[in-house]
Amino acid sequence: MLVTDRLIFLELQKSGSTHVRALLQIVLGGHGNERHNPITPELLAQGLPRLGGTRSPWDWYVSLFCFGCEERGPLQNRLRRQAERGRRGARGLRHATGQQGQRSQFASRFTPDEWFENAADVEHFRDWLRALLDPAHALLVNRGYAMSGYAPIGGLMTYRYCRLFLRDSGDLPGWVGGTETLHAHARGSFLLHYQIEQARLLDDLLDVLRALRVPLTEEQLQAMRALRPQNTSTRPLPVAAYYDDETRALVGQRERFIAERHGYTPPA
C-alpha cells in the first residue's frame, strides 16, 4: 500500500503494483505500508481516493508460475514446505488426518520441486495450476484463503482481489454462495474509486492523475515513460501456450467473478 496526500494505492500481487508504486512516487511521493495488505479503518476514514490494479486471471497465473520458477515469492516456498511436511508426515503416520492428511495427499500427488524447474514447461504449469485451483488444497495454498469462505466459489486471485478491494472482505459473508451473490456483494462494498489495467498500466495511471487534477511537469512525464517495470517475472512463452482446453476452462470457472467483472476472455 502506498499512501500519498492525493490518493491511496492498494497493491494486488502480480498486477504491476511495484511499477505503479514507483510511478506514483515520481509524482506524489508518499510513504509505503505493508505491500499487499488491505486498507486499515484509520486510512479509510481519511476519505482519500483509492486506486488499485487488475489483470487477466489467465495472465496472472502464468506470471505467478514464472515468478516461482525464479524461486521468488512466498507461494512457491509455501508449496515446497507443505509437500516436504507431507512426505515427513506420511513416513511417520499410518493414517494422517486433518491438515497433515491434506499435506500427505498433496505430497503423494504433486511435486513442487519439479513444477518450478523450468518456466517453459507447460505440463508442469498445468499440473501446478490444477493443484492450486483445487478447493481441497486451499489450506495448503493459503490459510486465510481456506478460512475465509472464498475457496468453494473462487480461486486464489479472487480471494486476493476481494480481500484488498471489498470492504470487510477478509471473511466472506455467509449469504454469498456463488458468483452471482459475490457480484452483488461487490456492488455494495467495492472500495476503489479508480482501477487500472496491467496491460495499459501507464496510460490508465495518467488518466487517473488527470482526473484528480494532479499537475505533471514535462520532466515527471519523461521520467515516468522512461521507468522500466520492476519485480517482473520472465515468461519464455506466450500466455496462450501455457493452456490447454481443460486448464483454460478451469481458470474461467474458478476466476469467473473477475473475468465477468472486467470482461476478460481466455487467451486465443
Residue 2 Cα to chain centre, angstroms? 17
- Three-state DSSP class for residue 169: coil
Nearest to 155 by CA among 165, 145, 170, 167: 145
The answer to whether 251 touches 133, Cβ cutoff 8 Å, is yes
Element (H, E) at 54: strand 50-54
Average pLDDT over residues 98-126: 75
Average pLDDT over residues 58-72: 94
Mean pLDDT of the chain: 89
Looking at residue 105, what is its pLDDT?
60
Looking at residue 102, what is its pLDDT?
58
C-alpha cell at 56: 487477466
Nearest to 8 by CA among 227, 239, 194: 194
**Using CB atoms within 10 A of its CB, is residue 41 exposed (0-12), middle (13-18) or buried (19+)?**
exposed
The answer, yes or no, to whether residue 90 has pLDDT greater than 50, is no
66 Cβ neighbours under 8 A, 6+ residues apart? 119, 233, 234, 235, 236
Looking at residue 98, what is its pLDDT?
54
Lowest-confidence pick of 17-26, 94-103, 164-173, 174-183: 94-103
The answer to whether 64 touches 18, Cβ cutoff 8 Å, is no
d(CA 34, CA 44): 15
- Three-state DSSP class for residue 196: strand
Q: What value does the CA radius of gyration of the chain take, rounded to a whole number of Å?
A: 20
Which range has highest mean pLDDT (41-45, 47-51, 102-106, 144-148)?
47-51
Residue 190: phi and psi, rounded to 5, are -70, 130
Lowest-confidence pick of 78-82, 195-199, 242-246: 78-82
Element (H, E) at 257: helix 256-262
DSSP 190: B
Looking at residue 93, what is its pLDDT?
38
Looking at residue 125, what is its pLDDT?
96
d(CA 17, CA 9): 9
Looking at residue 71, what is its pLDDT?
86
